[in-house]
Amino acid sequence: MTMTFHEFLRYLALVGTLMASIALVELVVPLYRRAGSRRGRAPANLALTILIFTLNWLLTTALAGFVLWFASQDLGLTALSRLPVLAQILLGVLILDFFTYVAHWAMHKIPLLWRLHRVHHSDPFLDVTTSFRTHPMEGLWRFAWTLVPALALGIPAQAVVIYRMISMINALLEHANVAVPRGVDRALSSVWVTPNMHKIHHSTAAQQTDSNYGNISSWFDRLFRTFTPTDRAFALEYGLHGTDPEQVRSLRSLLRMPFEPNQRVAGSPIAEQVRGT
């Protein structure tokens, strides 16, 4: 499904409204206090957000003709299974979530891909603006891991749209600097990627960073033993050691980051915790 330019602008406005609403909640019930050194990140983060959404819109528009033709051939495994439409949609969402897990895992294990993914992990603080702080080349990688499985398996267009919408909303929630009660988060993380579960993934500690790769469902992290309990989210240092504090707040520097050698260690101070309810 494609969008006209005006529909795309309305979609961006919807995303912006959701981000602003969550930002207000962050002011009321923050998980960590926003230290002075963490300020100045939002402009670069929001610029990358606009770049990523624009890139996805352009790619979807450019490939729309091919996707429609391929879908009409009934070549995919899901279509050939002749499952009821609702079952195809539910299965399609689960399949896309699995491939997103694999794509994310690969970005942590393959050095070339990690250079791209560093842009997202270099943020020294986590809030709703971090959600789509992603290098455009990582955006291409993630787009391919949605498009190719969707075509190869004949996943219905409705499933792709639903998956991407849920993924967008959950990305905003899981990066938000909002205090979620331990018990609630722990219970939800048995099936869902919760805010506390994902924040552990942004830890400077390698063992924690290399865990909790899930996008929507936590099942794959549990199945492949990459799950870290959510209680550890209440004492974290965010970001990457080896990055320049000024670099991580500059759009130009973030776009160049994958092509430059690692900087000398310049880790951010541990965030001052507000609560651990």
- Does 274 have pLDDT greater than 50? no
Over range 107-120, report the average pLDDT. 96
Task: Render pLDDT for 12-62 as a digit per residue (tens, 0 to 9).
Answer: 999 999 999 999 999 999 999 876 556 678 999 999 999 999 999 999 998
Length reported for the chain: 277
Q: Which 3 state secondary structure label does DSSP give 49?
A: helix
What residues contact 262, with CB distance under 8 A and at least 6 apart? 242, 243
Identify the band that residue 83 occupies on the pLDDT scale cut at 50, 70 and 90.
confident
pLDDT at residue 246 in the model: 80
pLDDT at residue 266 in the model: 33
pLDDT at residue 243 in the model: 82
Residue 45 CA: distances (Å) to CA of 83, 86, 142, 248: 41, 37, 18, 9
Lowest-confidence segment of 103-112, 132-141, 222-231, 243-252 by average pLDDT:
243-252
- DSSP per-residue letters across 157-197: HHHHHHHHHHHHHHHHHHHS-----HHHHHHHTTTB--HHH
pLDDT at residue 169 in the model: 97
Closest to 97 in 3D by CA, of 136, 19, 155, 57: 155
Rounded Cα distance, 140 and 146, in Å: 10
pLDDT at residue 39 in the model: 65
Rounded Cα distance, 207 and 174, in Å: 19
Over range 220-243, report the average pLDDT. 92
Task: Render pLDDT for 124-157 as a digit per residue (tens, 0 to 9).
Answer: 999 999 999 999 999 999 999 999 999 888 888 8
Identify the band that residue 64 occupies on the pLDDT scale cut at 50, 70 and 90.
confident
* pTM (two decimals): 0.90
Encoded tokens for 209: 């960073």
pLDDT at residue 241 in the model: 85
Identify the band that residue 82 occupies on the pLDDT scale cut at 50, 70 and 90.
confident
Rounded Cα distance, 201 and 253, in Å: 23
**Token pair 């909303």 is at which residue?**
169
- Does 254 have pLDDT greater than 70? yes
What residues contact 258, with CB distance under 8 A and at least 6 apart? 115, 116, 118, 119, 135, 137
**Token pair 């996805």 is at which residue?**
56
- Does 277 have pLDDT greater than 90? no
Lowest-confidence segment of 76-80, 83-87, 183-187, 226-230 by average pLDDT:
76-80
What residues contact 190, with CB distance under 8 A and at least 6 apart? 218
- Mean pLDDT, the chain, whole residue set: 88
